[in-house]
Each structure stands twice: as C-alpha cells, then as structure tokens.
Amino acid sequence: MFMTRSRRAAALAVCLCSALALIANDSWLDPYRQPALRIMAAATGNDDAWQRLALLTDTFGPRLSGTPALEAALRWAAEEMKKDFDEVRLDPVMVPHWVRGAESLEIVTPQPGTLAMLGLGNSIGTGGAPLEAELLVVRSFNDLEAHAGRAKGRIVLFNVPYTTYGETVQYRSNGPSRAAAHGAVAALVRSVGPPGLRTPHTGALRYASDRPQIPAAAIATEDADRLQRMQDRGTRVVLRLRMEAKFLPDAQSANLVAEYTGRERPEEIVAIGCHIDSWDVGAGATDDGGGCVAMWEAVRVLRRLELRPRRTIRVVFWTNEENGLRGGLAYRDKYRSQLDRHVLMLESDGGVFRPTGFGFTGPEHARALVTQIGSLLAPIGADRIGPNGGGADIGPSVEAGNVPAMSLEVDGSKYFLIHHTQADTVDKIEPADIARCVAAVGVMAYITADMPQSLR
C-alpha cells in the first residue's frame, strides 16, 4: 500500500504508542501466570521428551526423503499421536529421492591414503568409475576467481573456515557450480561447521542451471587444513573420488498434521512444527527430531493439565526440509485458503538445547504481546524475544499468508558441531534442556492460542 511520508510517520507513531501502552499494561496476562507456571512445572518434571526422542531416533535412525525409515517414522508418530490429539492425518507429498550409494575419497599422490568424506546431498555421482584429478585448494570465491586458469580439469577444494552458517554454507550450496564454471571436474568443501573430531558434514548443494553438474563432497576440517598445507608447500596432490550418488524417481511421503482443537475459535490456528526428515547420516536427533518431539510433548502437557485453548493448536511434522522443502511448499498450497486464519506459525529447527526464548517476525503490536508472554518464561531462562523468527518449513506459508512467524531459540554452541553429521544423535541432548524447550513452546503456544487479542 502506498503511504505518504507523513502518513507513514503518523502510522508508525500510533503503532509505537499502542505497543508501548501494551508493554506498560500487561494485566491481561494475569489469568495466564498460574497456567504458565503449571505448564513449566509439568514439562520439566520428567524426561518424557528425551525418552520419546531416543525412542524415535533409536528405532528409525536417519530419515532421508524417499527412505522406508522416514515413512515408518511418520506412520508410527501418526499412530501414537492419535492418543494425544483430536485429529491426526497424513497429507501426501511427493519428495525427491536422492541416494548416496558407496563413496570414497583417496589421496593417490604423494602417499596413498583415504580421507573421511560425505557426498553432498543432491550431488551427481562419478559415473560408475573413479574420478582422478589434481587438487586445487582455494580459500574463497575471490581466490577461485584469481586462480580460475588453474581450475580446469582439477578437483577444487573450498577451504573456507566456518564463520556463521549463513555465510559459510554458500560454499556448500554454490561452490560446486562456481568451480564447474571454470572447468573443475569435481568439488570438495571444507565441512560447514566449527572444527570437530574429523567428522565431515553433508548438506544440500544447488546446481546452477547454466553450469555443468560435477560431483561434490564435504571433507573434515582437519583434512582440508592438511591439503591446504600440502599445496602451500608446493606438493602436487592427486585425489581419487568415487561416488555412486544419484536420484531415483520421486517417492511418496507426507506431512503429518495433528490438531488439538480450539474450544471457541477452532478455525483459528496456531501452527507449531518441525521437519521429520533428516540426512542419511547420524540419527537426525537435533536436526530435527528434537524439534518434532518438543512440539508434540508441548501439546501432551496442555492436555494433561486440561488446558484447552480458545484456538486450535496444529502440530505439523513437515517432510523433505533437507533436500527439497516439498513439505513446506505442499502445506502452503494445501492450506492456502486457511493461511489468513493462522494467527502464528512457530518452527523449531535449531536444536533442542537450553532454550533462550523465541525469534519473532510480525506486526509491532504482536511483538509487544509475545514479548509480554515471553516474560512468563523467565523462570526457565527462555524469556528473550529476538528480532527474527521463521523457519525453512513455515517460510512459504508465512510469506504467502503474511503470517506472524516464530522460531524457538536455543543455546546454539553445539548445534553446528554435529549438524548433518554421523554425530547427530540423542546423547548430545540433555533431558533437562529438551524439557525446557517443551515448557517454552507449551506456554507460548497455549497463550497465543488462548488470548482474547489476535497477533494478526
């Protein structure tokens, strides 16, 4: 909508005023103080969430799109959730089916040996034969451009130390096509994460449509540094890469939708969710099984306490976040006509470590309200409402429906150490931390679904 500058300023002033008035007056919260304490006590008084996450990940293991394990986990969760929700359904979604196959990376010259590696998701393979080529290590895209003339026929390694995920992941996503543009025959990336215990991190790449597709893999930070040192000494390194990675035809999967029906305005929805798929290594415990279990347990706690909110709380386990986002897109398309009745969408996809609060994106009056609700989470240290809320799976719906968006925020110090690795297992999560995540989500979901005001 077009607004003149003065009208915009006036609107902003009104907006700020009402926001400040709300902060000043939080008496509307009073009826929620006791329920919030009860939710926190009920959620943190046991290790139900951790036990359920252990059950999920021990039983089904990794849950890559297209695998029987993902579908079995969905069916199991749907069946179990019937005990805790009023309505449970599986909305069919077709998902890409990428398979890793056998893979290896060896040093041929100077001294033969093997390197720990993981092919990048969505990569092509090496065409049924090993690919042998000389190595070129670069430290950035600029460094690649500066040495573009040397990339032809080589395996290019992007040895870029981790800063933030958003920044460093560019090399995993786009590095292969950038290297292919200069004639590289394969690409390697230093794993996107802080130095770990010689553990490669997988994750999706994105081929540019106007560049040749080349096979690509991640190696451990230690090996990236080793290859860098060898190049810096002037050693000629030849590598042999073997990958059977390929796509099979799209497979049947589903989004799991479970509803705790609102008592007064059931057509209005607070949607809280996670993604149930994971990479094919580790067990998808932090990414994102824990997010799913936290959402599920939050509703179980409300039910146990007989707290039935005015609006419906809809728990969604999205499928195929990792290598396609088909679940998030399918949800937007299926529920497009309901999006204006989604008062909030909340995603947990950053791990279920010690919660610090929520990120929020939405109108200012809504920010003021959720900030007040957040204050009730001070007893568990989860009272901070940060500037940005959202998530990959809720993204398409949030954008299409202009829905206020939230993300569960946690202590992130461990997350990217194990993200997309063999080490993403339940033992990395403290039972007390996931229990606090359940408490934080329970309070936020209950009050936003029950309060007389709307966040929209």
- Binding to Zn ion (CB under 5 A) within 224-243 occurs at none
> Interacting stretch for Zn ion, rule CB under 5 A, among 114-122, 191-199, 284-292, 377-385?
284-292
DSSP code of 120?
P
Note whether 200 and 219 are within 8 A (CB): yes
As measured in angstroms, the least distance from the Cβ of 384 to Zn ion is: 22
Q: Is 306 exposed, middle or buried (0-12, 13-18, 19+ CB in 10 A)?
A: exposed
- Nearer to Zn ion (CB atom), residue 288 or residue 450: 288
What track of x and - describes contact with Zn ion for positions 286 through 315 (by CB under 5 A)? Answer: -xx---------------------------
As measured in angstroms, the least distance from the Cβ of 101 to Zn ion is: 23
Note whether 414 and 33 are within 8 A (CB): no
Strand partners, 254: 92
Two structure tokens written together for 372: 């007040």
> Interacting stretch for Zn ion, rule CB under 5 A, among 15-23, 280-288, 312-320, 401-409?
280-288
d(CA 320, CA 65): 6
Triad 348, 172, 133: Cα angle to 5°: 150
- Nearer to Zn ion (CB atom), residue 383 or residue 393: 393
As measured in angstroms, the least distance from the Cβ of 254 to Zn ion is: 18
Which residue do the tokens 């949607």 mark? 271
Q: Of 60, 123, 101, which is closest to residue 317 (Cα–Cα)?
A: 60
What track of x and - describes contact with Zn ion for positions 347 through 386 (by CB under 5 A)? Answer: --x-------------------------------------
- Nearer to Zn ion (CB atom), residue 287 or residue 433: 287
Two structure tokens written together for 377: 């989470």
Reduced to 3 states (helix: H, G, I; strand: E, B; else coil), residue 326 is helix
Active site includes 321? yes
d(CA 392, CA 284): 16
Q: Of 183, 184, 235, 195, which is closest to residue 219 (Cα–Cα)?
A: 195
d(CA 455, CA 435): 26
Strands of 37-154 (E only): list them: 87-99, 103-109, 113-115, 117-119, 131-138
- Nearer to Zn ion (CB atom), residue 185 or residue 325: 325
Strand partners, 346: 272, 406
As measured in angstroms, the least distance from the Cβ of 283 to Zn ion is: 13
As measured in angstroms, the least distance from the Cβ of 191 to Zn ion is: 16
> Interacting stretch for Zn ion, rule CB under 5 A, among 122-130, 285-293, 367-375, 427-435?
285-293
- Residue type at position 36: A
d(CA 182, CA 417): 32
Reduced to 3 states (helix: H, G, I; strand: E, B; else coil), residue 448 is helix
277 contacts: CB under 8 Å, gap ≥ 6: 63, 64, 65, 70, 95, 253, 284, 318, 319, 320, 321, 322, 327
Between the two ends of the chain, the Cα-to-Cα distance in Å is: 17
Catalytic pick among 259, 297, 321, 322: 321
- Nearer to Zn ion (CB atom), residue 137 or residue 345: 345
As measured in angstroms, the least distance from the Cβ of 287 to Zn ion is: 4
What track of x and - describes contact with Zn ion for positions 320 through 349 (by CB under 5 A)? Answer: -----------------------------x
280 binds Zn ion (CB under 5 A): no
- Nearer to Zn ion (CB atom), residue 126 or residue 407: 407
- Nearer to Zn ion (CB atom), residue 103 or residue 322: 322
Q: Binding residues for Zn ion, how many (CB under 5 A)?
A: 3
As measured in angstroms, the least distance from the Cβ of 278 to Zn ion is: 8
Q: Backbone phi, then psi, for 250, in 5-degree steps?
A: -50, 150
- Nearer to Zn ion (CB atom), residue 434 or residue 449: 434
As measured in angstroms, the least distance from the Cβ of 213 to Zn ion is: 25
189 contacts: CB under 8 Å, gap ≥ 6: 120, 157, 158, 160, 171, 172, 175, 216, 217, 218, 219
> Interacting stretch for Zn ion, rule CB under 5 A, among 78-86, 198-206, 281-289, 439-447?
281-289
- Nearer to Zn ion (CB atom), residue 223 or residue 349: 349
As measured in angstroms, the least distance from the Cβ of 274 to Zn ion is: 8
Residues acting as catalytic residues:
321
User: Could you list the residues that contact Zn ion (CB under 5 A)?
Assistant: 287-288, 349
